[in-house]
Amino acid sequence: MTLQFSLASAHPETVETPCVVVGVYENGLLTSAAARIDSAADGAIKRQVESGDINGKAGSTTVLFAPAGVTAQRVLVVGLGSQKTFDAARFQKVNIEAARALGGLPLESAVSWLADIDVPGRDASWRVRTAALASDYAAYRYTATVKPRNPGKQPQFASLAFAAGAEAQTGLDQAVAIAEGVRFARELANLPPNICNPVYIAEQAKAFADAHDKVGCLVLDEVEMEKLGFGSLLAVGRGSANKPRLIALEYRGGAEDEKPYAFVGKGVTFDAGGISLKPGPGMDEMKFDMGGAAGVLGGFVSAVKMGLPLNLVCVVPSVENMPDGDSYRPGDVLTSLSGQTIEVLNTDAEGRLILCDALTWTAQTFQPRAIIDAATLTGACVIALGKHASGLMSKHDDLAAELLAAGEAALDRAWRLPLWDDYQVQLDSTFADFANIGGKSAGAITAGCFLSRFTDGQRWAHLDIAGTAWDEGRKGMATGRPVALLAQWLIDRTEK
Q: What residues are annotated to the active site?
A: 278, 352
DSSP state letters, 116-130: GS--TT--HHHHHHH
459 Cβ neighbours under 8 A, 6+ residues apart: 369, 370, 371, 396, 399
Closest CA to 463 of 318, 296, 285: 296
Give the largest Cα separation in the chain, rounded: 81
- What is d(CA 377, CA 266) in angstroms, rounded to the nearest whole number? 8
- What is d(CA 89, CA 409) in angstroms, rounded to the nearest whole number? 10
Burial 61-80 (b: 16+ CB within 10 A, else e): bbebeebeebebbbbbbbbb
Closest CA to 94 of 72, 115, 125: 115
User: What are the phi and psi torsion angles at 76 (to 5°)?
Assistant: -95, 115
Burial 34-52 (b: 16+ CB within 10 A, else e): bbbbbebbeebbbebbeee
- What is d(CA 457, CA 464) in angstroms, rounded to the nearest whole number? 21
Residue 50: which H helix or E strand, with range?
Answer: helix 44-51
